[in-house]
Amino acid sequence: MEKRSINHSRIIQTRLVLPPDTNHLDTIFGGKVLAYIDEVAALSAMKHAGGVVVTASIDSVSFLSSAKVGDALTMEAFVTYTGRSSMEVYVKVTAHDIAKDEEMLTTESFVTMVAVDENGKPRPVSQVYPETEEERKLHESAPARKKHRESRSHI
């Protein structure tokens, strides 16, 4: 299988934060952000794998700041590392206050997706290679994250 650049899997989605998406403080529900993260991570992994994927885990989610009603919420996702059938996908979420022209990082997450065939069985995926400094750092640190995931207890 031919290696693919990390950039090949890059997906960017932007959504407007609306009142039904928010809590009583007019900031977006964390669960809503998690749903967006899962969706954009799946699209990125599907683009890389060229087919169906399933979510294996949402390994970490760091809520760094809040998005509020009226913000443009942008999710950027790309595959940072692959196993035989699994893909680690990095997702970062930024909120853009369009009126003030201010942007801030709100959330970072790592999601593990698995490529599956028509019978739901894992199938192989291409390896990835980094091209930018950010991609290189994420790619090189991925084996440590994978080891940490594997060491967690499965009760």
Residue range 19-36, pLDDT digits in tens: 999 999 999 999 999 999
Q: Cβ atoms within 10 A of the Cβ of 91, count?
A: 24
Where do the domains of the chain lie?
Answer: 4-151
Helix (H, G, I), strand (E, B) or coil at 96: strand
Instruction: Render pLDDT for 68-104 as a digit per residue (tens, 0 to 9).
Output: 999 999 999 999 999 999 999 999 999 999 999 999 9
CATH code of the domain occupying 4-151: 3.10.129.10
pLDDT value for 154: 63
Q: Cβ atoms within 10 A of the Cβ of 55, count?
A: 16
pLDDT value for 1: 76
Q: Which tokens hold the place of 101?
A: 């022209």
Provide the pLDDT confidence category of residue 122 given band limits of 50, 70 and 90: very high
Q: How far apart (Å, rounded) are the C-alpha atoms in residues 96 and 33?
A: 15
Q: How far apart (Å, rounded) are the C-alpha atoms in residues 62 and 45?
A: 21
Mean pLDDT for 134-138 is 97
